[in-house]
Structure 1
Amino acid sequence: MQPYRILLSDDHIHAREGIREILEEYEDFLIVGEAVNGEEALSLAEELMPDIILMDIQMPVMDGLEATKRIKMKLPYIKVVMITVSDDIKDLFDALKKGAQGYLLKNIQPEAWYEYLKAFALDEVPMSKEIAYQILKEFPQEKKEVKEEKTPLSSRELEVLQLVAKGFSNKEISETLFISEHTVKSHLKNILSKLHLANRVQLTYYAFQQKLI
């Protein structure tokens, strides 16, 4: 299997060096480029077509939030993972709303990076309970604008969707519904396809908007 191609965007050279050292330990990941600000990240994303961008939030010229928004508009299939020293729920929620797949705190243990990034690459990272709660808090302000639709999902797919929106991981969903993780992944793939959505954040929005939970 080809390694996942990584673009690293961070204005601090020591942070980039540290992340590079961590990822070079694993054959699953290959750093193909480094950017020092959001504008350069956008340019390199178009040039290098990475699988994943590790995006710092606070950067000069163009910050990571704006860069993520622009990259996802032009290249929606690239996964963007925010890397930050802050666990400020507002920053992380803003990043997810702009299309980021998830986030990593820079101060987590080095050995945890591989596990998290592999899960991000496979789109298996569960929605955190805090993020799900933040969506729930914002939902009442948006629900007047949302027209409820008849869902194209089967009853089993609805069960999976509801658990995703509650922050359950694939493993937790499989244990709750007494099905294999492979079957959970298959259901998630079908759900995303039927709803024309890209990730768990958007699925959670959909579940709240359609009053499924």
Structure 2
Amino acid sequence: MSSSPIPVVLYGGDLLTRAGVMAHIGHQRGISLLLDRNRAADGPARGVALVLDDRLDAPSVTRLRKVTSDHAKRVVLVVDELDENRLNIVVEAGISAVVWRHQATPAGLVKAIQATARNEGNMPGDLLRRLLTHLERRAQGTALSTVATGRPTGRELNVLELVAHGLATKEIAEQLGYSERTIKGVLHDTMTRLHLRNRAHAVAYAIREGYM
């Protein structure tokens, strides 16, 4: 029996961009795409929000925070670039899936949507590095930058490398020959032991420290 399609609500973007997204991923198997203006008829927000927004000006930030709240932080944000202020907005909103507009292929968007629906992060490698620096800066040089002791174990690094390549928990388990529960346990233990916030932070830390 096939699983139900992931409900996805599209927010933002100009008419041409929205039409392009609808045309390219609106009929993808496993995705049920709906425009935000039609969501009211569908009841409360469900599934994943796909947000197209390069400006992130004051009005759009307000909308982004509302969308993030409505969708329980299950948001994929498509942007051209994030400066320090905009990165802070993304962090504060709890968004863990970002796709650069120039890399927003149909396959890439579907992959990000699927990861977000599983509550797994999905960020470009260059943004992961910046995110680590940003989080350490916010911690004012304490917890995130000084408490990590020792390096990740070999098994932890194997898992983190596959996370960095965008594999889902199930795919990592299949590739390494473990159960999904074991992979989740490895990630949880890594983040707990090294005082890291989430998967994206764990990958960024391993890259920054030269372990990957």
**What is the distance in 2 between the residues matched to 1:126 and 1:186?**
16
**1:71-86 alignment runs, 5 A limit:** 71-72=67-68, 74-75=69-70, 77-84=72-79, 86=80
Structure 2: segments with no counterpart, 5+ residues = none
Aligned counterparts of 1:69 and 1:188: Cα–Cα separation in 2:
32
One-letter code aligned to 1:69: R
What is the TM-score when the length of structure 1 is the normalising length?
0.61
Tell me, which stretches of 5 or more residues in structure 1 are unaligned? none
Residues 145-176 of structure 1: CA distance to partner in whole angstroms, max 9, x if unpaired?
649889xxxx97x9369937x9464479959x
Specify the alignment match of 2:29 in structure 1.
27
TM-superposed deviation, 1:203: 5.8
Q: How does 1:87-98 map to 2 (within 5 A)?
A: 87-88=81-82, 90=84, 93-97=87-91, 98=93
Counterpart CA distance in 2 for 1:170 and 1:111 is 13
| Cα distance in 2 for residues equivalent to 1:159 and 1:67 | 38
Q: Does 1:14 align with 2:16?
A: yes
The answer to whether the 8 A contact 1:69-1:99 is kept is no
Counterpart of 2:185? 187
Q: Report the 3-state secondary structure (helix = DSSP H, G, I; strand = E; otherwise coil) of the residue aligned with 1:81.
A: strand
Across the aligned residues of Structure 1 and Structure 2, the Cα RMSD in angstroms comes to: 4.8
Once the 2 structures are TM-superposed, how far is the Cα of residue 4 of structure 1 from its aligned partner? 1.0
Q: Does 1:142 align with 2:136?
A: no
Q: Is the alpha carbon distance of 1:27 and 1:135 closer, same or farther for their aligned partners in structure 2, counting shifts above 3 Å?
A: closer
Offset at residue 141 of structure 1 (A): 5.1
Shift of 1:12: 1.0
Alignment partner of 1:68 out of 55, 60, 64: 64
Distance change >3 Å, CA 78–CA 170, structure 1 → 2: same
**Aligned AA for 1:9?**
Y
Q: What is the percent sequence identity of the aligned residues?
A: 10
